[in-house]
Each structure stands twice: as structure tokens, then as C-alpha cells.
A and B are shown apart, each in its own frame.
Chain A
Amino acid sequence: MSLSNTLPALILVSSLLPGLAIFLLREDSHVLRTSLNMFGAIAKVILVGVMVWGVFHAQSFETRWTLAPGLDLVLSADALSVLFVALSTGLWLLTTVYAIGYLEGTPHRSRFFGFFSLCVTATVGLAMAGNLFTFVVFYELLTLATYPLVAHKGTPAAVRGARIYLAYTLSGGLLLLIGAVWLRTIAGPVDFVEGGALSDLSGLDPTALRWIFALLIIGLGVKAALVPLHGWLPQAMVAPAPVSSLLHAVAVVKAGAFGIVRVVYDVYGVELAGTLQLLPVLGAVAAITIIYGSIKALSQDHLKKRLAYSTVSQVSYIALGTAILGPLATIGGVVHLVHQGIMKITLFFAAGNYAENLGIHKVSEMDGVGRRMPGTTLAFTIAALGMIGIPPVAGFVSKWYLGLGAVEAGVAHWVLPVLIASSLLNAAYFLPILYRAWFKVAPTAWPAEQVRGGRLEMPGALLWPPVVTAALALAIGLFAGAPYSPLEWTQLIAAREYGL
């Protein structure tokens, strides 16, 4: 029982146990619940820190548990999983802080935080999954853990949103399952291997492999909200703001995108995927999604809905980067996993603050909100600019590498126009918000203003998370070339995937 084969399990347990304990708590034991939450979040950050350090020093971590003959639950750490684990763990810490502040005084908090912890447990498990089977297991668990969170408010709209969410994700999960079983049947246990698990096998039927690829990608595409599988995402925005952050930035959508990356690079491998001609289709779907999501976002007046469609569009950058063969595009896609997460979580935190503090839910109500809530709006602004791809915020770095990758792969003639159109559309739906917030005159009365004392515009637990993530988005863009930056780490991943 050395650290190398228990650490992945410990990382899971660090949020699983607090989550289970929280379920048992009485509603009014606020202090204990908060302590458990924070203990779990911080413990996880520390454990993940140890793992990052270990992986960087070429140490290997693996927990293996046999469930059935030939079906092993494998949790392991490679460069890619560590990237995702670190992202979700870090953002989870912030989201927890935010959620504690956001839900103060509302009912059913024990239930909420219980599932909240389960949700991140599933995400981290999914990130550390060492084979396709384990991935499927945690992928489904994630669906389960998020359903109660989406339905949390219990209003008809919330229940309906949750139902739609479930209909989509269960269907997607099923296709993923069939694809995974099929692959397992013809190719044996598919461990995730840098360079592709299937690359060592020969004599597999190409037609079957194509079908399996289609099943896997469609299954993952539901969570990644690829058009036309994206319908649940805008509906799920009825959930409380911390849940939206979780859905859009930390867990669900990311899980789908991460899965696509895994399947392309670590199951099929770039070489085989190229030989089978699988990627152009994925690229086309991603491109359509990018454009479609942006166009839909334009016409949304509801702030969270606009952000949701923006997610639809932005997450497909990851798929797009994956679909373009070549290390540079890989870097662009994978690093966007991190960048989009940090920027989008900022936007949702801010949207939550507007709703919480002033009752603002719509873009058309945001006139002059910048002066009223400067900290939140500043964070929102930085993240929105990053989404557009304006340097030096992180989003620019992703776009730059995607563009370079497209040229490198000789597909610039359609990728660059997509990137450009998307950026323009991003600008077209984000800049009016910024304009309203900063430059328009505030109304005489806000829709539902909370009267609070205190020096800050919001309680600290609500204000600091967006400010921190916005600063982070700026910092990782500004210091993208620095050691240990997400970009640096992604370059390491790309180098390994391509065997460079």
C-alpha cells in the first residue's frame, strides 16, 4: 500500500467521504457542513498537488480494482488526466466557496452539498480513468450526481430542465456504453495509452472501428454539447449559479470534451484516427457547433442562456483542436479545456452575483451595472474578453494555437474562417453586455435589489471567486510561456501523444 497505488483512490475519497457525511447532516448544522466541504476541497487540492508533483517527476500512480473478469476499475495519472484533475479540483474549491455563500439561508443544503461533492468525485474519477471502462463508469456517475443539482430548486422549470438533461445524457451514455463494449469485445481491455491503445493492434476491421468511433463520439458529444446534441445545456440553466458553473466549467461539459480528447488520442491514437479518416467529420461537427452556438447566443436576452450557448460554441474549440491532426492544434484544443473552464466559470459566477444582488437575469437589465458592482463586472469583462480571444487573456492563447494548428495541418481554408466568424460573433454577443454594463446609465431601481451592509458590493464568498478566476484567466494568458503554466503542460501532453 504505497502512495503510488493509493493516491488516486485517496483523491476520490477526499470528496466522496465528506459528501456522504454531509448527506447525514441536519439542515441547520451549518458550521459542520461548511467545515466538511472546505476540508474535502482543500484536502483534494493538496493531494492533487502531490500527484502533479509526482507526475512531473515521472512517478506513476495507479489504483486498480477488479469488478468483473476482464473489467478493471483503473485510476491512474498521466499528463492529460492530471491537467483535468487539477482544473476541476481547483475550480471546485472556488465553486464550493461560492456555493456556500450563494446558498446561505436556503433549504436542502445538506442534499445539495452532498451531491455537489459526489459530482466532483465523479469528475475526478473520470479524469483519472485509466481505461475506457472506468471512464464509462464515471461518466454515468456524473450524470447521476448532477441530476439532483439541476433539479435542486424543485420548481416545475427546474424539474423539467433536469428531465431534459437526463434524457440527453442517458441516451448519450448508452451510446458510449455500446461503443465501449464493442471496442472491448474486439480489442480487449482498452487502456488509455499515450499514442493510442489501438495503434499496437492490427487486423481490426476498419468498418467496425469507424462505427465504434461514431458511437463513442456521439455519446461524448451529448455532454460536450455538440450540435445537434446540445439541447439540454440551455435548458439546464435553470439550476442555481454554482451548479451552472459546475455544468459549464468544471464537470459535465468538460467531461464530454475530455472524453473526446481521450478517445482520439489515447484510444485510437492520432495515426489510426488519421488513417481511418475519422477526424474531418468531427471537425465539421465541431465547426458547425461553434458557429451555431454563437449565432444562437446572439439572440438570447436571458444572460445565463446566452452564456449557455456560448459554452456550446466554446467547448467545441476543444473538439475542433482534437479533430485537426498535428501537435499545435492539439495544444490549442487541450489547453482550451483549462482556459474555457476558468473563463466560463467566471462568467457564471458573475451572472449569479447579478441575479443574487440585484435580481438581474437579463442582458437588457444590465444597464450601468458596472458602477454598482465594479468587482463582479470587472471579472465578467476580463472573462468575456478572453472568450472573444482578445489578448492577453487566456482565450487568445487557445485560439492562436488552433489557428497555427490549422495551418500546420493544411486545413486553414476552413478552420480560420470558422475561428474568425466565431470570434466576431463572440464579440457581437459579449461586447453589448460590456457596453451596457459600463457605459449605459443605470436605471433608478434594480429588479430586486438586496440591501446589505458591508464595504464590498457582495459578501466576500460571492465576490472573491469570480475575481480570483478572472485574475487567473488573465495570468495564465499573460504567463502562458512560464513553466508549469497550462500551456506548458499541454505542450508536454502533445509531445507525448505525437511521440515527439
Chain B
Amino acid sequence: MSLLLDLTMQLPGAAVAPLMVLTPLLPLLLAPFAFTAIGRWGLALGVLPALLTALLVPVGSALDLSWVMLGVQLELDATGRIFLLFSGLIWLATGLYAATGPDRQHVAGRFALFYQLALAGNLLLILAADIVTFYVGFALMGLSAYGLILGRSQRARRAARLYLGFTLVGELALFSALALLAAAAGSTRFDELAGVPVSDAAVALLLLGFGIKLALPGLHPWLPLSYTAAPLAAVAVLSGPMMKAGLLGWLRFLPPGAPGLEPWGTALLFLGTLGVVLGSLLGVLQREPRAVLAYSSIAKMGLISALFGTALTQPAIAEPLLTALVLFAMHHLLVKPALFLGVGVWQAGPARVWVLIGIGLLAASLAGLPLTGGDAAKQALKAALNGQVSLLLVVSAAGTLVLMVRFLYLLAARAPRAAPFSLIPLLILVVLLPIALWGPFWPTEIALSLDGLVPLTMGAAVAAVAWWLTQDSPGRVPRIPPGDLYHWVARLRVMAPTLTWRGAPDLGIAATATTAARPRGTQAELTGAGLAMLVLIALLLVSLLPD
């Protein structure tokens, strides 16, 4: 894995600490200025220290800020560095896009505020070397994203609400899991966490907490809704850096080889496979380009989860597998946001044919066609897997191909949006294209491999058959709205209040009943207090009795 790690230059030691602190701090400092003139350009500025840190700070640099919060520990390790670099790139590109794109008039203010906060959270969790700091970053990122999704449409608001419900559940599951871990280890530092047995409850909660971010099947309904309704820039960072933070969480807290993890790995493998299949199937049935991309993300995350599960079940091959998995995830981290940004540029911008070709290339890379980064990532995985679960890889690749074809088809059929001409977004896409196409690999690492052609053929066949079957009667295609499960559950009217967090006041149910003042006399009140105490006394008494 040569990658970009050779780039490390010698940085004066004195500059390391400020740079690391500044990485999460600068976005935070920029956040209050979101409502001012700086707000718009601050979108691109905030991430710069992070990129500098990723490129210049030597791996292993650590920082002890024990006076902040519950003792903040920052460290840049190899994994963190990769995450930091590519996440930073996407945040930079998205920030620039948001500042110059078709919606640039609306980004100053709320969007910029939450963008900076989410960015800060993401960067903090990557650098975190202790449980609490990681959690703080994760929560900051996850909750701030609510404000990013929250566009100006009713649909976006609904999506944001659903997202928030899921995220809150995830945060709390994570909170509990991390509390369990910290208590078991007697410390919150990552380095003292190693080798500490992880209880089943903690594992389940970790899978749940990060699984929501990774949109495991069943935990996914927020994703298609958000991806189709939120502003494009928000979707870009959601689909890339933020989603991958879930994987980073697993990597940090579920080291393969720890006792008792195998059954969980099997479960994850199963769930992930389900995600691959369902994501592909439901994705094909979508009628919006963005929805197809959303389901493609579900499928890809399913694959990542399944492979992580494999790593848990087989600690022997875990190390190379996880290395390859990180590369694979990084590739997705780069391509998916690029695709979303491409959608935006295509809708508004000039040179539509060239843009469409560029998008096509990106889609090909995502599908893992030969000579792309996607193919290289897949090869790395295959090598690490020694031929195991190869069917899953094939299915995934075929599914992705079908989805990409569907995506391009839907995109090309769309009418462009009337928007002012803007060159900069196009330039962003042009710069991003090669990075996303081949990243995280150097072009020299890309070798021609014909393995990719197997799923290609399969996918093409499936696509052709499907097209042929539905060509005459589009009505036979079942209509699955993005967010599938959500709509079905909503139709059943059994939505838990936590999912919609509407709360009673908005529904206006109980409020009138309890606020209506009932006149009560002094005696009645005294009696009431006395009775209540009696009941409590009785309760206390019963339990105070000796065994």
C-alpha cells in the first residue's frame, strides 16, 4: 500500500501540535461567522488545516489536551491519516462547490453553520485517540448534519426529521456502548482499550450505533429520503466522509480477534449481504437518479459491512482484509460524492455532454470496470480474501453496474434546471474526476484485469433482460418510493414518536387535557400530597424489608 503516504515532508516539530489542534478547531471558529460575509468562503477554508495535517504531520504524532472536556487525546495514526486525507479532499471539493454552485446564494447562514460544525465533528473523530473525544466528534457531526439536510422544501424537512430520529438513537446506542467499553477498560484512551474483552451488549450497541450511519438494512430508511431531498452539497458529504465515519468507528472499537466476536461477525456478514441484495434490487426500481445513487450506497455499505463481518469471523486474515477494505471504502468515499456533485454540475452547468461522460466514467469506476480505481480496490479485496465470499463480490459488482446504468439512463432523461452559468463547479469536477476515478490509488498501481468483466457481463445481461421485460409496460414495475420501509411503516401509522419526534404538542393531543386547570381545595391538595407520600413510603418500605 504505497498510496500517498510517501508524501510526508519534514515538518518542524513545533508546528505539529498547532496544526492538529487547528484541524477540528478552525471549522468551529469559522462557524460563528457563518452568517457573515465570510460564511460562504469559509466553507472551503475550514478544511485546509486538516489537509495540511494529513500531508505534513508524521504518523504517530499525539497530543494530550487533558484539560479539555474529559481529557481530549488526539493522535494521527495510519488509518486516521487516510481517512483524514480523503475526507478532507471531499469536504474541500464540496465546500467549494457549495460556495460557487447554483445554490450559492443560500449557503451563507444556516447551511454554512452546520457545514462547519459537521466538518469539525468529522475531523475531530478522525483524530480522536480516546473514547469521549471520538463520541463528541461523532455526535457533533451526526447532529449537525440535520441542519445540512434541512433544506427549504417540505420534503427535505421530513427527511431531516427522520434522519434526526435515527441519528439520536444511534448516538445513544453509541453512548451506552462506549460507556460500557470505558468502564470495562477503566480508561477512555484507545491505547489502553486494546485487549480488553468487549461484552456482547457493547458489541450489539456498537453495531447498532455505527450501523445506522452505515445504513445497514433495517436501519437505512433515513438514507434514501435524505439523499433525494437534501441539498446536493449536503448529500455529497453525507454519502462520503460522514458515512465512512461509521466504518472508522468499527475499526476503532471492534478489533478482530477479540474473543466472542465471531458470532457477531457472522450476523454482520448476513446483514451486509442482505444490504447488497436489497440495495441493488430496490435501487433499480427507483425513478430518480439520486435515489438510485442512494440505494447504491446502501448496497456498497452492505458489502463493506459484510466484509467487516468476515474479518471478525476470521481473525487470521483480518489484517490484510481490513487494509483492503479501507482502500475500498476510500474509493467509495471519493466516487460517490463526486457523482453527486456531478449530478449538480450536469443539471446546471455548461458542457453537458462532457459532464455526462465524466459522470459515466465515475459510474464505471464505482462499478469496478477495468482500469478504474474501483477495479483496483476490488482486486485488493480479492487478494486479501483468498477467494472467499467471491460470489458476494460478483453479485455486488453486477448489482452496482445495473444500478449505474439505471442511474445514467435516468440522469440523461432529465431536463436540465434553469440555473445561472457557472464555471467553477465544472472546474471542481474536472479536478476531482481523476482523483475519484483512480483514488485512492496512484494511476501506476492500476493494472488491467479482466476479472472485472465477469460481473460486467452478468450485470449487462441482467440489465438487458430487465429492460426488455419492462420496455412495453412500465406499469409492471413496482413503485418503491425512496425510503421504502419508512413509507410502509408510516402508512401503517405506527411510527414511534422517536422516529418523527413530532411530540404531542404538534399533534395537540394531551396538552389540553393536562393544562386545563381543575380547581382543588387546600384539603384536597394536602390529602393528595399525603397520599402520594404514603404510597411512596409503602413502596420504599416493601423493598427495605430484609431479605
Q: Mark B161-195, 1 if CB is under 8 A from A, else 0.
A: 00010001101110110011011100000000000
A320, CB-defined interface residue at 8 Å: no
Kindly provide the distance from the CB of A349 to the nearest chain B CB, expressed in whole angstroms. 21
User: Cβ of B525: which chain A residues have Cβ within 8 Å of it?
Assistant: 163-164, 167
Given A228-B532, A396-B136; A299-B510 close (CB under 8 Å) = yes
B413, CB-defined interface residue at 8 Å: no
Interface residues of chain A: helix, strand, loop or mixed (majority): helix
B536, CB-defined interface residue at 8 Å: yes
Of A222, A277, A296, A407, which is within 8 A of B180 by CB?
Answer: A407
Q: Mark A379-410, 1 if CB is under 8 A from B, else 0.
A: 00000000001111000110110011011100
Q: Measured between alpha carbons, how far is A90 from B140 in the docked complex, in Å?
A: 29
Kindly provide the distance from the CB of B172 to the nearest chain A CB, expressed in whole angstroms. 4
B503 x A428 contact (CB < 8 A): yes
User: Cβ of A477: which chain B residues have Cβ within 8 Å of it?
Assistant: 69
How many B residues have CB within 8 A of the partner chain?
64
A412 x B180 contact (CB < 8 A): yes
Given A391-B136, A420-B172; A229-B69 close (CB under 8 Å) = no
Of B182, B498, B508, B533, which is within 8 A of A229 by CB?
Answer: B533
Of A157, A171, A301, A392, which is within 8 A of B533 by CB?
Answer: A171
A400 x B70 contact (CB < 8 A): yes
B505 x A391 contact (CB < 8 A): no
Of B65, B66, B143, B180, which is within 8 A of A390 by CB?
Answer: B143
A420 x B515 contact (CB < 8 A): no
A478, CB-defined interface residue at 8 Å: yes
Residues from 407 to 439 in A contacting B, C-beta threshold 8 Å:
407-408, 412-413, 416, 419-420, 423-424, 427-429, 431-432, 438-439
Q: Mark A279-322, 1 if CB is under 8 A from B, else 0.
A: 01100110000000000101111100100000000000000000
B522 x A163 contact (CB < 8 A): yes
Q: Mark A199-226, 1 if CB is under 8 A from B, else 0.
A: 0000000110011011001100110001
B530, CB-defined interface residue at 8 Å: yes
A302 x B528 contact (CB < 8 A): no
Q: Measured between alpha carbons, how far is A479 from B136 in the docked complex, in Å?
A: 13
How many A residues have CB within 8 A of the partner chain?
74
A214 x B541 contact (CB < 8 A): yes
Given A302-B515, A404-B183; A428-B69 close (CB under 8 Å) = no
B173 x A420 contact (CB < 8 A): yes
B7, CB-defined interface residue at 8 Å: no
User: Cβ of B150: which chain A residues have Cβ within 8 Å of it?
Assistant: 439
Interface residues of chain B: helix, strand, loop or mixed (majority): helix
Q: Which residue of B lies closest to A396 (CB)?
A: B136
Q: Mark B393-407, 1 if CB is under 8 A from A, else 0.
A: 000000000000000
Kindly provide the distance from the CB of A178 to the nearest chain B CB, expressed in whole angstroms. 12
Given A300-B515, A424-B172; A432-B503 close (CB under 8 Å) = yes
Q: Which residue of B lies closest to A163 (CB)?
A: B522
B1, CB-defined interface residue at 8 Å: no
A13, CB-defined interface residue at 8 Å: no
Q: Which residue of A lies closest to B514 (CB)?
A: A299
Q: Measured between alpha carbons, how far is A280 from B66 in the docked complex, in Å?
A: 34
User: Cβ of A228: which chain B residues have Cβ within 8 Å of it?
Assistant: 532, 535-536
Of A296, A431, A439, A478, which is within 8 A of B501 by CB?
Answer: A431
Q: Which residue of A lies closest to B536 (CB)?
A: A218
B533 x A278 contact (CB < 8 A): no
A132, CB-defined interface residue at 8 Å: no
Q: Measured between alpha carbons, how far is A398 from B132 in the docked complex, in Å?
A: 12
Of A390, A400, A427, which is within 8 A of B132 by CB?
Answer: A400
Q: Measured between alpha carbons, how far is A338 from B401 in the docked complex, in Å?
A: 57
Of B140, B168, B511, B535, which is within 8 A of A300 by CB?
Answer: B511
A481 x B522 contact (CB < 8 A): no
B70 x A487 contact (CB < 8 A): yes
User: Cβ of A217: which chain B residues have Cβ within 8 Å of it?
Assistant: 540
B505 x A480 contact (CB < 8 A): no
User: Cβ of A363: which chain B residues have Cβ within 8 Å of it?
Assistant: 505
Given A278-B544, A301-B511, A390-B143; A404-B175 close (CB under 8 Å) = no
A85, CB-defined interface residue at 8 Å: no
A481 x B503 contact (CB < 8 A): no
Given A167-B525, A427-B168; A229-B184 close (CB under 8 Å) = no
Q: Measured between alpha carbons, how far is A326 from B540 in the docked complex, in Å?
A: 22
A299 x B498 contact (CB < 8 A): no
Q: Measured between alpha carbons, how far is A31 from B530 in the docked complex, in Å?
A: 45
B472, CB-defined interface residue at 8 Å: no
Q: Which residue of A lies closest to B140 (CB)?
A: A391
Q: Measured between alpha carbons, how far is A210 from B535 in the docked complex, in Å?
A: 16
User: Cβ of A164: which chain B residues have Cβ within 8 Å of it?
Assistant: 525
Q: Measured between alpha carbons, how far is A381 from B326 in the docked complex, in Å?
A: 37
Kindly provide the distance from the CB of A273 to the nearest chain B CB, expressed in whole angstroms. 12
Q: Measured between alpha carbons, how far is A228 from B544 in the docked complex, in Å?
A: 18
Residues from 336 to 378 in B contacting A, C-beta threshold 8 Å:
none
Q: Measured between alpha carbons, how far is A396 from B501 in the docked complex, in Å?
A: 21
Of B501, B541, B547, which is within 8 A of A427 by CB?
Answer: B501
Residues from 26 to 54 in A contacting B, C-beta threshold 8 Å:
none
Kindly provide the distance from the CB of B59 to the nearest chain A CB, expressed in whole angstroms. 26
Given A298-B504, A431-B164; A229-B532 close (CB under 8 Å) = yes
User: Cβ of B169: which chain A residues have Cβ within 8 Å of it?
Assistant: 424
Q: Measured between alpha carbons, how far is A389 from B140 in the docked complex, in Å?
A: 11
B502, CB-defined interface residue at 8 Å: yes
A403 x B175 contact (CB < 8 A): yes
B172 x A391 contact (CB < 8 A): no
A478 x B532 contact (CB < 8 A): no
What would 29 A/B residue contacts be, using CB atoms closer than 8 Å? A167-B526, A167-B529, A168-B529, A171-B533, A217-B540, A218-B533, A218-B540, A228-B532, A231-B529, A281-B543, A299-B504, A390-B140, A391-B69, A391-B132, A391-B136, A399-B175, A400-B179, A403-B175, A407-B183, A413-B201, A420-B173, A429-B503, A432-B501, A432-B506, A439-B150, A478-B69, A481-B68, A481-B71, A482-B68
- Hey, which bits of chain A sit against chain B, CB under 8 A? 157, 163-164, 167-168, 171-172, 175, 206-207, 210-211, 213-214, 217-218, 221-222, 226, 228-229, 231, 276-278, 280-281, 284-285, 296, 298-302, 305, 328, 363-364, 389-392, 396-397, 399-400, 403-404, 406-408, 412-413, 416, 419-420, 423-424, 427-429, 431-432, 438-439, 477-483, 487
- Hey, which bits of chain B sit against chain A, CB under 8 A? 65-72, 110, 132, 135-136, 139-140, 143, 150, 157, 164, 168-169, 171-173, 175-176, 179-180, 182-184, 201, 497-498, 501-506, 508-511, 514-515, 517, 522, 525-526, 528-530, 532-533, 535-537, 539-541, 543-544, 546-547
